[in-house]
Structure formats: C-alpha cells, structure tokens
C-alpha cells in the first residue's frame, strides 16, 4: 500500500503540475474568479459523468463507500479552503508571477501540509521529512526574493504575486488535511462534489462582480479548454491524491506531491520561453534535495494495532483477516468495501500513517 500511495501521489502531481502553465495561457482571457470556477466545473462535471457511466455498469459488490455523517462537514470545510480560496489566490498570483516561478513555489503546499499534519492533526513526521521541508522552504525563499539575477543578465521580479501563490498553497494544505479525514470514502465522489461546489461558487462570484466569458467565437473554445484542464489537472489529479491520502497520510502525500512544481516548471520554460534565472536554478536544486529526502524515507518499526471497526476498500492482507460467512455477500471480489472489525495486533513492517497506523511515535 505505501507503493500504491506513492505512485498515485506522483501521478496526481504530474497532472496538477501541467495544469499550472496551461492555466497561465488562459488567465489573460478570463478573470481569476471565472477561470477558477471553470477549472473546477470541468472537474466536477467530467467526473460526474464518469461516475454515472460506471454506476450503470458496475458490479453489485461494493468496492467503495459513500460519505457519512460528520464527513460531510469535513468535506465542506475542505472545499471552502481548497476549492474556493486556493484556486482564486493562485489565479491572481499567476497574473503577476512567471509561470515557472509559480510552478516551483507550489512546492510550499507540501511543506504547509506536513506542518499542519504534524502540529495540528498529530500525524507522525520524522526528521528526514523535516529536513526535506527546510530545503523546500529555502528554495521558495530564493524564488520569492525580488531582484534575482538571470543567467542572460536580466532581472526577475518579486512582489505580491509569489505571496498570493504561497497563500494558495496554505489553503490547499488545509484542504489536504481535512480531506484526509474523509479519504476512506469514494475518492471520485469527493472530487466530484469538490468540483461542482467550488466551480459553482467561483463562477457565481465572477458573474456577481460583472465578469463574463470572452466574446464569441473564442468563448466556447476558451471555456472548453479551461474545463478540460480542470478535469485532468484538478479532477483526475484529486482522485489520485485522495487515494494517496488513504494509504500514506497527509504529510507524506504532500511530500510526494511536491514533484508537481518541477513538472510545471519544465513545461513553463518550454511553453513560454521564460529566462532561466540564477534564483530559479538555485531553487530547483534546493527543492530537488528536499523532494529526494521525502521520496527516500523508510519508516519501519514494531507497532501495536488497537481494536477498531470501520468501513473502507480493502483486500484480505495481514491487517484484514476476517471471513465472509453471509450467503448474501456472494463471491468475494477484491478490493471490496464493508464494515469490519480489527483485533489487537503487534508486528513490524514498513508503514505510513494510513487508517490502520495512526499510532504516536
């Protein structure tokens, strides 16, 4: 499962990283509010159609479960932070920040996510992860510092743009930690709800402020482009991100997701022909060291599992040794989801803070 979490987190990072320079292409044709709304509407509508198609053809055996009880409150709070405030701050930041710089600054999301997970949500974070965060923060400081000298003799710019991008990262960090609390529910449902709610709110605010789509004939093309970018960079990426949260926790998922800005930075240099600055190069090295420290972490020690009962997708591994005795269950297909009980267990293996490993260190 740790390998599954790492893989899905990195795939999520690739999709989201590519969405940043692509959004930069659209931000001149749409207001930040409208662009943020269309990105999330594309995510919600696209995933909703996929969910509908799968529901019509799915097996009767339940592989995922829906949201329940207090999980709805956690999800709504996550949507407010990451689905409304975060995208708008990023879109405003992109209007005053080179796309390559903004892409690398997005590394701060992983740092903020880990800090909140550690100090607020009490998730275990070791010294190697902290060292990686220090390197990433140092790279972000270099990027945000005004007046960095470029390799071709020009000058870069600091200002409020990088601050807005950093604020967006903080909102997404809050979102990540809140979403972890609902990560045992269906990731596609979570991403669909986030997309529809956040998209509707942002488009509504844009219209209330007097914004509108570009005049025809470019309107349809611009809107469709934004929604497609949103479906892949926000929708599919978020589904993969929630799967990673389920398996490896918020801090480590955020750490793996820190590879997203490098994808975006490389794409930005190719798309916009932006100059390579000394600050950009130094930041890339510092952030690369930080991400490497995160990716090479090895967490292995003897630990106890207390008795617990919950419902989530699983296979019959060392942590799931229950039987299916009811004839109503039919043949067992893995992974599957149902309410099950865990007995006390003590063992040792490599693990991360998933739903079964929330112990203190």
Structure confidence by residue, pLDDT tens digits, 17-43:
899 888 888 777 777 778 888 899 999
pLDDT above 80 for 63: no
Residue 196's pLDDT band, with cuts at 50, 70 and 90, is very high
- The mean pLDDT value for 191-205 works out to 90
With cut-offs at 50, 70 and 90, classify the pLDDT of residue 149.
very low
Report the distance separating Cα 321 and Cα 28, nearest Å.
56
- Decide which of 45 and 151 is more confident: 45
Question: Is the pLDDT assigned to residue 151 strictly greater than 50?
Answer: no
Rounded Cα distance between 15 and 189, Å, is 19
306-326 per-position pLDDT tens digit: 777 766 676 677 667 777 765
Q: Is the dihedral of CA 18, 20, 25, 30 positive or negative?
A: positive
150 near 227, Cβ under 8 Å? no
Average pLDDT over residues 277-292: 82
Comparing 359 with 138, which gets the higher pLDDT? 138
- Residue 24 is predicted with a pLDDT of 80
pLDDT recorded at residue 67: 85
């Amino acid at each position: 499962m740790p390998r599954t979490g790492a893989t899905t987190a990195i795939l999520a990072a690739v999709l989201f990283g590519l969405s940043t320079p692509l959004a930069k292409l659209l931000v001149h044709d749409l207001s930040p509010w409208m662009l943020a709304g269309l990105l999330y509407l594309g995510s919600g509508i696209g995933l909703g159609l996929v969910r509908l198609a799968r529901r019509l053809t799915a097996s009767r055996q339940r592989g995922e479960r829906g949201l329940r009880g207090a999980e709805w409150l956690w999800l709504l709070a996550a949507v407010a932070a990451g689905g409304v405030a975060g995208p708008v701050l990023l879109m405003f930041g992109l209007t005053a920040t080179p796309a390559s710089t903004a892409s690398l600054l997005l590394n701060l999301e992983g740092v903020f996510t880990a800090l909140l997970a550690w100090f607020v949500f009490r998730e275990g974070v070791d010294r190697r992860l902290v060292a990686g965060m220090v390197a990433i923060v140092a790279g972000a400081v270099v990027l945000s510092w005004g007046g960095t000298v470029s390799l071709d003799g020009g000058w870069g710019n600091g200002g409020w743009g990088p601050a807005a991008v950093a604020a967006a990262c903080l909102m997404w960090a809050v979102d990540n930690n809140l979403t972890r609390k609902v990560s045992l529910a269906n990731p596609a449902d979570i991403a669909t709800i986030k997309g529809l709610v956040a998209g509707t709110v942002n488009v509504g605010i844009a219209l209330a402020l007097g914004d509108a789509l570009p005049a025809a004939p470019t309107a349809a093309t611009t809107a469709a482009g934004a929604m497609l970018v949103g479906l892949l960079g926000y929708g599919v990426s978020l589904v993969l991100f929630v799967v990673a949260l389920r398996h490896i926790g918020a801090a480590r998922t955020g750490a793996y997701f820190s590879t997203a800005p490098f994808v975006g930075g490389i794409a930005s240099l190719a798309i916009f022909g932006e100059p390579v600055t000394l600050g950009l190069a130094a930041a890339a090295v510092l952030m690369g060291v930080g991400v490497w420290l995160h990716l090479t972490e090895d967490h292995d020690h003897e630990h106890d599992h207390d008795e617990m009962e919950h419902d989530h997708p699983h296979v019959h591994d060392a942590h799931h040794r229950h039987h299916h005795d009811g004839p109503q269950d039919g043949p067992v297909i893995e992974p599957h989801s149902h309410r099950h009980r865990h007995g006390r267990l003590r063992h040792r293996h490599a693990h991360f803070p998933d739903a079964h490993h929330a112990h203190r260190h």
